[in-house]
Amino acid sequence: MEKARRQAAKKPGGGRATKKRANDTTPAQGVAPLPLEETSSPAAGASLPPAGTSFPGTETSLPHGGTSFPSEGRTFPRDGSTRPRLGFHAPIAGGLQSALLKARALGAETVQIFSRNPRGWQARPLEAAEVETFKRVRRECGIDPVVIHANYLINLAAADEAIRGKSIASFREEVERGLTLGADYLVVHPGSARGACEADALRTCAESLKAACDGLELRDFRILLENTAGQGECIGHRFEHLREIAGQCPGLNLGVCLDTAHAFTAGYDIRDEDGLAAALDSLDANAGLANVRAVHFNDSKAAYNSRVDRHWHLGLGHIGAEALARVASHPRLAHAAFLLETPQDELGDDARNLAVLRSFLAGDRGPEGDARA
């Protein structure tokens, strides 16, 4: 049985839903009808570059047991700590700076936000005063890094030219807003292959990324490709997809955001030590662990290899407390920012999930439960 699970982790395929967070300014990737939160199964004949192809900017992988890595741009943690920085996706109601203040109130060190309404093509321009306020509050709070999640409508892999054009324009705006705010990372899903084969969708995503960033000076600002769950027709549920996209964008400073719930339901069985090691080895071979700058740290309400995206409270889903504690304390991920995207159904959910994450790092297993209950 264990051998079969290890093989499943090495090659996704073969094989236990969350309510959206109460505040709809928080990612809830499996909730209909958002079109870009669905991902696809592998298309036959999809062409991928040979294993070992690395992301631009980093040719070396994070050594086993290491806690630092060579890379371009800013690195985290900055205080020499051997544990990850912890945070969550915070709402921006009341102004962008309110997310920073909530993060500080809960003792978080990093935060993820939307920089605008995530459910519309049009965004209100940033005003100079709010940008200055955001930067000032960030300095006062000591939040590092600041991660922006791209809006829900963007589909960089769209076969439909009208949708692709809107997506390129909207993603460029996301990049510009991130640069203006002085954010560190911008997380984006590769998109949906709807109407095209997988190989074409991968190429379209890469071309769209290049078009959106054409002429922009990204400097230390880094775009992070997020792995997906494998629901519907989206790409990104295999780590090879991330390698293929990055390989076609040699001029962009790309990185990876690893979502634990997505990886699990896409077929990477991280529930035991061998399965986690196999999944990290695969991610290292395809993207380089040095490039994993953020981890969306979520349990899953959906079963292993179900290709369903349903985040759940830590320790109460199908990944479970023991497995998540192993991920949280793994030295190969200690350089990344760990960000909760767990449900916020009740007041205090963020604080409770952060407490569980801290308990994992302290050596406790935290709560246990059954997502089917």
DSSP per-residue string spanning 258-325: EEHHHHHHHT---SSHHHHHHHHHHHHHHH-GGGEEEEE--EESSPTT-----EE-TTSSSS-HHHHH
Summarize pLDDT for 331-363 with one digit per residue, the tens: 999 999 999 999 999 999 999 999 999 999 998
Print the domain residue range for 90.
74-361
E strand or H helix at 257, and its extent? strand 254-259
Which amino acid is present at 326? R
Catalytic residue positions? 119, 149, 152, 189, 226, 259, 262, 296, 309, 311, 341
The reply to whether the predicted model has a pTM over 0.75 is: yes
Q: Considering its fold, how many domains does the chain have in total? A: 1
Q: Considering the domain boundaries, does residue 343 fall inside one?
A: yes
Give the C-alpha separation, 163 to 234, whole Å. 15
CB 235 within 8 A of CB 190: yes
Summarize pLDDT for 31-87 with one digit per residue, the tens: 332 233 333 333 333 334 444 444 654 443 333 333 222 344 455 555 556 799 999
Give the C-alpha separation, 11 to 1, whole Å. 16
Per DSSP, the residues of 130-163 read HHHHHHHHHHHHT---EEEEPPTT--TT-SSHHH
Give the pLDDT of residue 237.
97
The pLDDT confidence band at residue 369, using thresholds 50, 70 and 90, is low
* Contacts (Cβ under 8 Å, ≥6 apart) of 338: 84, 85, 86, 87, 110, 294, 295, 297, 328, 357
Give the pLDDT of residue 136.
98
Q: Considering the domain boundaries, does residue 201 fall inside one?
A: yes
Alpha-carbon distance values, 322 to 266, 271, 328 (Å): 20, 8, 10
Lowest-pLDDT choice from 71-85, 116-130, 222-236, 315-329: 71-85
Looking up residue 301, the CATH number of its domain turns out to be: 3.20.20.150
CA atoms within 13 Å, Cβ hemisphere of 33? 0
CB 256 within 8 A of CB 283: yes
Q: Considering the domain boundaries, does residue 25 fall inside one?
A: no
Q: Considering the domain boundaries, does residue 7 fall inside one?
A: no
Lowest-pLDDT choice from 77-81, 135-139, 225-229: 77-81
Q: Considering the domain boundaries, does residue 284 fall inside one?
A: yes
Give the pLDDT of residue 55.
61
Q: Considering the domain boundaries, does residue 351 fall inside one?
A: yes
Cα Rg for the chain, rounded, in angstroms? Answer: 19
Q: Considering the domain boundaries, does residue 263 fall inside one?
A: yes
Q: Considering the domain boundaries, does residue 213 fall inside one?
A: yes
